A and B are shown apart, each in its own frame.
Chain A
Amino acid sequence: MNAKQLAAIVLIVGIVVLFQLGMSLRTRANAAAAQADAALIEEKKLKMQLEGEQKILADLKAESQSLIDFVGEWEPFFALIEDEESAETSISMKVRDTDMLNLSQRYEQVPHTINNKPNDSLPFLVRASLVFDDSYYKLLNWIGMMEDYKPTMRVGKVSLSRGSGADGLRMELVLEIPLRAKSALKK
């Protein structure tokens, strides 16, 4: 092989290398463009997803607005689990303040279930079992006063029978105060 042939071969190799270089740069540019296009498609998908999420959230807010408003009105009347003692104390203070004859009072904390399912938001009840012996007016006024004082408190049992006095009544009363779990409610 002479020098001319060698030079021609070197030039041919040079041509191939340059062509390959040009093609590889072009491929790289195409890949970058494809990556940007793919990112654009993903961005569009994400925009649609965000619109969907925001719509679901707005619908949920609109649907639950009355329920949330309702909770806002009643929330201050629900005692927290941490307030168990104060829930008991508030009843015993009211019992002490009244001038009715109180025969017994007992307090206990019981799990709160509805249809045998635990109520996660209101997991416990403070149950006060009270026995009074007094006049009809005093007893019924007192129940009314207690239901007004704590609207979330419910009467679990009321039993009226003849009392010791002439127009006296014996009343067995069970009051239940639901205790709220602190975690979930919005402040």
Chain B
Amino acid sequence: MLLDSRRIDDFKTERKDGMPQLPAIYRLVPILFYLSLLFVTVVGSSALWHSRTASDRYQAVVLQTDQLKKKIETSKAARSELQKSIVEARDLEKCVLASMPLQSLVVGIVRSMEQGSNIVDLSIVRDPETPSQLKLAMTLSGENDKQIEKTLEKIQELNYREFSPTQSKVKGNLEYRASLLWRKPGSKTPTPAERSAQIVEP
């Protein structure tokens, strides 16, 4: 009986339909594949752990920076408020320093009059734009030539400095005009009680 030659399965001869072997270098491919799996496992897990830690750290820092920003804003707002108060306090201080009582000055001028001297009229006007500056105008009658010096001494005792003085004789009376500038004694701003203490008995 004749058999078909293609049906014969002969293990001794090489099979013709088998695929040819890959070059030897290709044996590295599966090794590299397993190595890359190992790489992903080690590096990936380490990276994920670092990433999570860094993320936690970032969140904590962001919370902290938010609090710091709020504190800075609060501090800035407090500074702005304080600066406003300082500006207003300076305005009030200017006003207080420029509004020294005049009663003691009038009384001082009147008391400086010596026997035989009289005040015909006396006017003290505060400069509206420079309230610490006063315009003094007075007319004195009498024979005492030294009277005006006495009066000016008294004015200086009361911490006023006169400048731009003019004096003239009109109908036998001495007309004296000057600007007075108050000098704050010491560096301390007066309290309301100290201010009141400047009022004198006429």
* Chain A residues within 8 Å of B, Cβ to Cβ: 2-5, 8, 11-12, 14-15, 18-19, 21-23, 25-26, 28-29, 32-33, 35-36, 39-40, 42-43, 46-47, 49-50, 53-54, 56-57, 60-61, 64, 66-68, 70-71, 73-75, 77-78, 113-116, 119-122, 136-137, 140-141, 143-145, 147-148, 151-162, 176, 178, 180, 184-186
A158 to B126 alpha-carbon distance, docked (Å): 9
Closest A residue to B55 by beta carbon equals A32
Chain B positions 81 through 120: 1 when the CB is less than 8 Å from some CB of chain A, otherwise 0: 1111111111111111011111110110010000000011
In the complex, chain B residues whose CB is within 8 Å of the CB of A23: 43
Count of interface residues, chain B, beta-carbon cutoff 8 Å: 83
Given the interface pairs A18-B37, A140-B103, the reply to whether A53 lies near B130 with Cβ below 8 Å is: no
In the complex, chain A residues whose CB is within 8 Å of the CB of B202: 136-137, 140-141, 144
A141 to B69 alpha-carbon distance, docked (Å): 60
Give min CB distance, B34 to chain A, whole Å. 9
Give min CB distance, B40 to chain A, whole Å. 5
Q: For B71, give its contact among A43, A50, A116 (CB under 8 Å).
A: A50
Pair B82/A144 contact, Cβ less than 8 Å:
no
A155 to B105 alpha-carbon distance, docked (Å): 12
In the complex, chain A residues whose CB is within 8 Å of the CB of B102: 143, 147, 155, 158
**Does B191 reach chain A (CB closer than 8 Å)?**
yes
Pair A143/B106 contact, Cβ less than 8 Å:
yes
Pair B101/A115 contact, Cβ less than 8 Å:
no
Pair B89/A67 contact, Cβ less than 8 Å:
yes
In the complex, chain B residues whose CB is within 8 Å of the CB of A144: 101, 103-104, 199-200, 202
Chain B positions 120 through 163: 1 when the CB is less than 8 Å from some CB of chain A, otherwise 0: 11111110111100000000000000000000000000000000
Give the one of B36, B62, B98, B195 with max A CB within 10 A: B36
Given the interface pairs A32-B58, A33-B54, A43-B65, the reply to whether A156 lies near B126 with Cβ below 8 Å is: yes
A30 to B11 alpha-carbon distance, docked (Å): 59
